[in-house]
């Protein structure tokens, strides 16, 4: 597994900005994630910026007061950039959309991270070759929580603090139980999750399943702590140890998504398997 954070992205963009021709007038991001490096480069190089649809429609983003320090005049050279490329299929579609404009503009195509030879051949410029022999899973902080089914189906997820806001302390039983059916959602998974692993007691399965259903969340399994009450549970096993035991036993699971930084590190230490922490955006691996 290769994991790339926002910090890594920022470093790669900054260290490889020299690869962008100085006479580029406009930087165009391929929605959505291509807008992240597009804006980074536009800020760094003091260039005008637009998203793909806006460019096709002849619109650009407002640059605020900094507009006065940018070169005015006709747009001639345009850089179209995406964050990552693997097969190059997405960039080919982008090229098809922009084909009618290639008589009007000199258009260069780029990506930040090239995941292999096909990706390199699909662009004029790539900032970083991230391909590694035998690697099949690339994860990026900006889309790690909303990935393709083949990646989410091999994942295990925490619930409280990740999928929904942490409920009140369960020592206040009435407040805790009143909150569960109305829990505030945070990250609603886009595709089917392999399994949810929660420290919630088994007796709250009904209300938890109903909440997940109401928010359209698909999953293979919901694992809850099988104990009669919170004191028994707490005296039996800590949250991190409980989650680690299940994650380690699940040979199919390749990544665990955890809300709490301390627990994430402990789960990784106990399993040696990758753990992504929502609290600090760090991948323990």
Cα separation, 61 vs 57, in Å, equals 12
CATH architecture type of domain 149-284: 3-Layer(aba) Sandwich (3.40)
What would the pLDDT profile of 120-142 be if each residue is shown by its tens digit? 999 999 999 998 887 778 889 99
Burial class (CB in 10 A: 0-12, 13-18, 19+), 240: buried
What would the pLDDT profile of 100-114 be if each residue is shown by its tens digit? 999 999 999 999 999
Note the pLDDT of residue 136: 74
The partner residues of 108 in beta bridges, in order of sequence, read 79
Cα separation, 147 vs 190, in Å, equals 7
CATH architecture type of domain 2-140: 3-Layer(aba) Sandwich (3.40)
What would the pLDDT profile of 26-39 be if each residue is shown by its tens digit? 999 999 999 999 99
In this predicted structure, the answer to whether residue 68 has a pLDDT above a threshold of 60 is: no
Question: By the 8 A CB rule, do 52 and 28 touch?
Answer: yes
Domain boundaries, the chain: 2-140, 149-284
Cα separation, 266 vs 243, in Å, equals 10
Question: By the 8 A CB rule, do 157 and 163 touch?
Answer: yes
Confirm whether 2-140 and 149-284 share one CATH topology: yes
pTM for this predicted structure: 0.85
In this predicted structure, the answer to whether residue 60 has a pLDDT above a threshold of 80 is: no
């Amino acid at each position: 597994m290769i994991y790339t954070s926002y910090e890594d992205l920022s470093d790669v963009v900054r260290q490889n900005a020299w690869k962008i021709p100085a006479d580029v007038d406009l930087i165009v991001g391929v929605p959505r994630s291509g807008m992240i490096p597009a804006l980074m480069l536009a800020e760094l190089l003091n260039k005008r910026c637009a998203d793909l649809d806006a460019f096709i429609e002849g619109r650009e983003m407002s640059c605020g007061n900094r507009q006065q320090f940018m070169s005015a005049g006709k747009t001639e050279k345009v850089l179209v950039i995406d964050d990552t490329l693997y097969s190059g299929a997405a960039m080919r579609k982008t090229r098809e959309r922009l084909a009618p404009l290639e008589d009007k503009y000199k258009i260069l195509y780029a990506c930040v991270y090239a995941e292999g030879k096909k990706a390199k051949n699909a662009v004029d410029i790539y900032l970083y070759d991230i391909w590694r022999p035998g690697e099949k899973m690339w994860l990026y902080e900006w889309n790690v929580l909303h990935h393709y089914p083949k990646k989410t189906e091999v994942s295990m997820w925490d619930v409280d603090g990740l999928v929904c806001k942490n409920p009140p302390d369960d020592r206040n039983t009435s407040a805790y139980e009143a909150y569960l059916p109305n829990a505030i959602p945070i990250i609603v998974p886009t595709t089917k999750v392999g399994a949810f692993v929660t420290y919630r007691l088994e007796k709250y399965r009904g209300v938890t399943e109903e909440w997940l259903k109401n928010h359209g969340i698909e999953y293979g399994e919901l694992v809850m702590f099988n104990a009669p009450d919170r004191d028994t549970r707490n005296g039996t096993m800590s949250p991190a140890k409980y989650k680690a035991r299940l994650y380690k036993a699940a040979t199919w699971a390749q990544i665990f998504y955890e809300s709490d930084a301390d627990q994430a590190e402990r789960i990784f230490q106990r399993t040696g398997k990758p753990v992504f922490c929502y609290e600090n955006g760090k991948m323990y691996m």
